[in-house]
Structure 1
Amino acid sequence: MADQPLIKLHDGNMMPQLGLGVWQASIDEARKAVLKALEVGYRSIDTASAYKNEEAIGQALQETDVPREQVFVTTKLWNDDQKNAQQALETSLEKLKLDQVDLYLMHWPCPFKDLYLSAWEQMIKLQQQGLTKSIGVCNFNEAHLKRLMDETGVSPVVNQIELHPMLQQRTLHAWNALHQIQTESWSPLAQGGQGVFDQEVIKSLAKKYGKTPAQIVIRWHLDSGLVVIPKSVTPARIEENFKVFDFRLEKPEISEITTLDIGKRLGPDPEKFGG
């Protein structure tokens, strides 16, 4: 297994740059996917209470030979639980069969509810209690992030956002970087490569490097300094998605993929979602 890169978060904790996402996976699918991923060499698993498969991660962690301290586990605070983050995390930990997660993320800002600041204050306390090593957010725009930082003095270590070649969010990515917030890409392959895998630049790079289009796109995320969590429950694809550490894209090739950005959002708009 090639050495996979670790990212140092601004709180001093380390996070693998490549992980497995389990969105939309059933409990059985997620358990099998996590076991396969750990066998292949993944050391980061991303779930959420809203995915309703945290139990599967707990089962897989009990079954695997990989020691707990070697696996970086992320779960998320759902929108309906923003008033009671403590209870939400304790429920997640129970399902995961863990005393602590490595990263707890607020899933959406839900600006119309205007609870994300108080939820963040609760998450700071959860970190202080040792229930999570690190805290971060998902789908936050600059204004949401700035408010958290201005009001609490504590900035998220990670902002997990929809990011793929068709939606690169470069301004937000740059703002995150300026404030030492690691950008993490969800839906990194644009939900199965919608409109991405058939792009000429992706196809020609796949041919050049003897890789699949998915591997080229994952490598683009890595070479762009992003943390990336491709989701799959297919054993062959889980393995394929991890075989990306034996090559790197050249700078002009990264720039060429940059031209694919058309602002195509496949998921909800963070300003409107969660009401």
Structure 2
Amino acid sequence: ASGLTSAQLLKRLDSAVLPKLTAWGKAQLVYTVMAGTEDFQRCASGTCTPTASATYANIQSMCSAVRNATGASIIVFTLPPANLSANSDSFESFRQDLNGLIRNGGSCSYTVADVGSDALIGQPNQWSNVYYYQPNGIHLTRAGQAIIADYLNTALKGLPAPPAPTDEILNYQTEAPTLVALPNGCVRIIVDTWVYTAWGSRKYAPYYKDSCPSLGPLFSQASLVPPQNAPPLPLHIAAAEHGTITTITDNSSAAVVYAAAADQ
């Protein structure tokens, strides 16, 4: 998110970042951070004193929060120079201090994308090069952004390889069962199930069972049995979790429901 301080980035993690990362459902997640310029600019024009250590502490907090919640790999960019008018010299000192902290690392480990030492865009006063920097001396042109992209690509290639694809099922998550009344007086039970594997998440096509002529001990013995020889998921667990279909009773035989897998 452009234009935010490191403190603001940290504050919005819970609402704007972590839910998206956890919902992504992939085996390998990557979170990137470039923060600090806005910290200095806001403080220099206000009442606070910008410090590299405070900014780096926020970067470490972001790293820990994302890692603990999602297991994602973290890439932290060092800062390129910027034209902050009368404060440019002070910012350069701040930038060098922060970049040194980023390169040295902290308790939360990450991969460094060291654009702050690049020969074309990372040296003091190179913000004046209008080929790589926009006229404001802060934001990069497409040529400058291409250099950033190269550093990101290199950092991504250096990350550990993701686990090999596998259909080993690690966990289930059922959605609320739905009961649908059929014209002949029977009941159709529909259950959507997410299945998590080491490679990511998949959503199985809805399981369903028509309960004619009688329901039987369907909710105490019936199982949803997905393909791939996975262990069965008792349907009564889904019912108990959601408290929706526990009032239906009968004495017919238990039912076992099968469904084909369908990638999300």
Question: TM-score scaled to structure 2, two decimals?
Answer: 0.31
Structure number with higher strand proportion: 2
Question: TM-score scaled to structure 1, two decimals?
Answer: 0.30
Higher relative contact order (CA 8 A, sep 6+): 1
Please identify the structure whose Cα radius of gyration is greater: 2
